[in-house]
A and B are shown apart, each in its own frame.
Chain A
Amino acid sequence: MLGILSRNWWKVLAVLLLLYAIPMAWLGSVSVQVILHETIRNLYFHVTMWFAMIAVFAGSMVYSIRALRSGNRLFDIKAQQFAQTGMMFGFIGIVTGMIWATYTWGEPWVNDPKLNGSAVSLMIYVAYFVLRGSIDEPIRRMRVASVYNIFAFVMLILLIGLMPRLTDSLHPGNGGNPGFGGYDLKNDMKMVFYPSVLGWILMGFWIAGLMAKSKIAEYKIEEDTSDK
């Protein structure tokens, strides 16, 4: 029992953080903003999805580097499954963002550098899966896909981290037009926001890990049957 807990303490932490953050997202006091009103609470749900996505994609890149260094195909499977989970968080982020934008910015898709950047970076990750699908030989697929995955992560950081800061964006903290009025988040909000960011990042790793483990089980079975 203790052995299980010592390996999985971070999953317990994720659940505890979110058991605190989810009720507080509804109950905590928030900054009163003109257009946002109560929708400012979306910060705890919509924005955390992006943080989880970036963290899981980073994990995917680390596994790709390890796959390249060791030549172990299990790392390649992990990298692929982490990228897939990252895509899921990215799509949740886009859909929730579109709903939020409809009621605050007036339409689901405004020409905002952060929106376009996130859409382009998700397309780059879609290309990662297309690339994998187009190579049949496993070792070659691992090498090419791993190198591409490192490139994809760098592009992601450039497109959603750097580009919006260079131009005007409706998103807070970017360009000269911060949506939260100079990021004047109350301290009360930070006390809920940071735990929920960490909680969702850990949840992301948990889900991605499950995806990877089940895929590895599948891989082992396939290996067994091909041996016979």
Chain B
Amino acid sequence: MKLFPTIIFSASLLFGGMAVAQTTADSTVQPNEAVAVAKSIPDTLVDLNKQLGGIMDVTVAKGTILPEAIEITPAGLIILKSEDLLKADVYNFEVKASSPENEVYIITVKIRRDGEKLTTTIISDKIDMATGFRKEGKIYVVVAISLILFVVLVTYLVLLDRRIRKLNAKLENRS
């Protein structure tokens, strides 16, 4: 388990983004477009790829609900769509990602708003599979033993089958 340092984003960055959105909204007539502009300048909270290195296929983990304000890209960017949507002070959710070696990570993301500061914490946890065991080739020991067991039992089944068939044939002929 790796614990990564807390990443702190200054509120001024967020407010700066808001200000840009605000000015664009003023210059246009339709309010709908203003929303679109605000969305087009998302704030990246965390770049998982940069933090964890070589992460792909990032998706929301099963059984977790992604907050309305947050968006996740498959490349590992966790994006704040709009600060207005952040209603609660603390958000927790999990994302699933995989490494090029097919190892799967569950990453717990915690976003906390403390006054004007927005703190994002990530904890990544690897799902333990017997990758090393397989790489060493020891799995073939298990394969060999279970195959021997199966083959011997089937041989016995065949012999038993023949014996019972002969027995029934004998009984048939006698009567």
Residues of A in contact with B (beta carbons under 8 Å apart): 8, 11, 15, 18-19, 22-23, 26-27, 29, 32-34, 37-38, 181-182, 206-207, 210, 213-214, 216-217, 220-221, 224
**Does B15 interact with chain A (Cβ within 8 Å)?**
no
Chain B 72-114 interface residues, beta-carbon cutoff 8 Å to A:
98, 102-104, 106
* 6 A-B contacts (beta carbon < 8 Å): A18-B150, A23-B146, A23-B147, A210-B157, A214-B164, A217-B171
Q: Give the residue of B129, B147, B154 whose beta carbon is less than 8 angstroms from that of A37.
A: B129
Give the distance in Å from the alpha carbon of A19 to the alpha carbon of B151 in the complex.
8
| A15-B154 in contact given A26-B142, A37-B128 (Cβ < 8 Å) | yes
> What's the interface size class on B, roughly?
20 to 34
| A213-B174 in contact given A26-B139, A26-B146 (Cβ < 8 Å) | no
Q: Give the residue of B63, B102, B147 whose beta carbon is less than 8 angstroms from that of A22.
A: B147
**Residues in chain A near residue B161, CB distance under 8 A:** 8, 11, 206, 210
B129 touches A221 (CB 8 A): no
A210 touches B160 (CB 8 A): yes
**Residues in chain B near residue A38, CB distance under 8 A:** 129-130
A32 touches B139 (CB 8 A): no
Give the distance in Å from the alpha carbon of A38 to the alpha carbon of B154 in the complex.
27
6 new A-B contacts, CB < 8 A, other than A26-B139, A26-B142, A217-B167, are: A22-B143, A22-B147, A32-B98, A32-B127, A34-B127, A221-B171
**Residues in chain A near residue B130, CB distance under 8 A:** 38
| A210-B175 in contact given A18-B150, A19-B147, A34-B106 (Cβ < 8 Å) | no
Chain B residue, CB-CB nearest to A206: B157
Give the distance in Å from the alpha carbon of A182 to the alpha carbon of B161 in the complex.
42
Give the distance in Å from the alpha carbon of A174 to the alpha carbon of B102 in the complex.
29
A224 touches B168 (CB 8 A): no
**Residues in chain B near residue A8, CB distance under 8 A:** 161
A22 touches B160 (CB 8 A): no
**Residues in chain A near residue B142, CB distance under 8 A:** 26
Chain B residue, CB-CB nearest to A216: B168
**Residues in chain A near residue B103, CB distance under 8 A:** 32
**Does B50 interact with chain A (Cβ within 8 Å)?**
no
Give the distance in Å from the alpha carbon of A224 to the alpha carbon of B161 in the complex.
23
Q: Give the residue of A19, A29, A181, A213 whose beta carbon is less than 8 angstroms from that of B168.
A: A213
Min Cβ gap B4→A in Å is 20
Give the distance in Å from the alpha carbon of A181 to the alpha carbon of B104 in the complex.
15
Give the distance in Å from the alpha carbon of A206 to the alpha carbon of B165 in the complex.
13
Give the distance in Å from the alpha carbon of A188 to the alpha carbon of B167 in the complex.
44
| A207-B157 in contact given A22-B150, A216-B168 (Cβ < 8 Å) | yes
Chain A residue, CB-CB nearest to B154: A15
B154 touches A33 (CB 8 A): no
**Residues in chain A near residue B2, CB distance under 8 A:** none
Give the distance in Å from the alpha carbon of A214 to the alpha carbon of B63 in the complex.
52
Chain B 128-175 interface residues, beta-carbon cutoff 8 Å to A:
128-130, 139, 142-143, 146-147, 150-151, 154, 157-158, 160-161, 164-165, 167-168, 171, 174-175
Give the distance in Å from the alpha carbon of A19 to the alpha carbon of B127 in the complex.
30
Q: Give the residue of A37, A207, A216, A224 whose beta carbon is less than 8 angstroms from that of B174.
A: A224
**Residues in chain A near residue B61, CB distance under 8 A:** 34
